[in-house]
Amino acid sequence: MRLVIQRVRSGSVLVEGQPIAQIGQGLVILVGVGHQDNEEKARLLAEKTAHLRIFEDRDGKMNHSLVDIGGEALVVSQFTLYADTRKGRRPSFTEAALPEQAKPLVECFIEHLETLGVPTQSGQFGAHMLVKIENDGPVTILLEQ
């Protein structure tokens, strides 16, 4: 799995012009699933994400996690994180898992975040989404398992 994690002041997702998810302070997490991924990887990445110390303390140092600040998460599936651009100009997505494998793993990731006490919303799997991200910092972290 590949994650792009952005620390945000707010984030939201619209599908066909209608809002389907919205968060305040927390993380917008773009999730890509590959062929070799499984539930264990999804749970490990959820644990790492929830406890990743990327929120500032009173001294301006990144010492607090999403759990520490009581923040929210917005999870958006994004198969394009597995784009292979080594040849030509058109990305290949052959390393991305098919929807029937990817969707349950994204759901597993979301469920595990929630069991860790993180209020979590999500985009709509497979839909064309407009994702609004108010990146705070900016802080963007790449995680891969």
- Domains in the chain and their CATH numbers? 2-144 (3.50.80.10)
Q: Tell me the pTM.
A: 0.96
- Catalytic residue annotation: 78-80
Which residues fall within 8 angstroms of residue 81, CB to CB, at 6 or more apart? 2, 3, 4, 30, 31, 32, 96
Written as six digits, the tokens of 79 are 């198969």
pLDDT of residue 145: 85
119 in Cβ contact with 111 (< 8 Å) = no
What is the predicted pLDDT for the residue at 19? 97
Task: Compute mean pLDDT per 10 residues along the chain, 145 residues long, and list them.
Answer: 98 97 98 97 98 97 98 97 94 96 98 98 96 97 94
The burial of 17, by beta-carbon neighbours within 10 Å (0-12 exposed, 13-18 middle, 19 or more buried), is given as: exposed
* pLDDT recorded at residue 106: 98
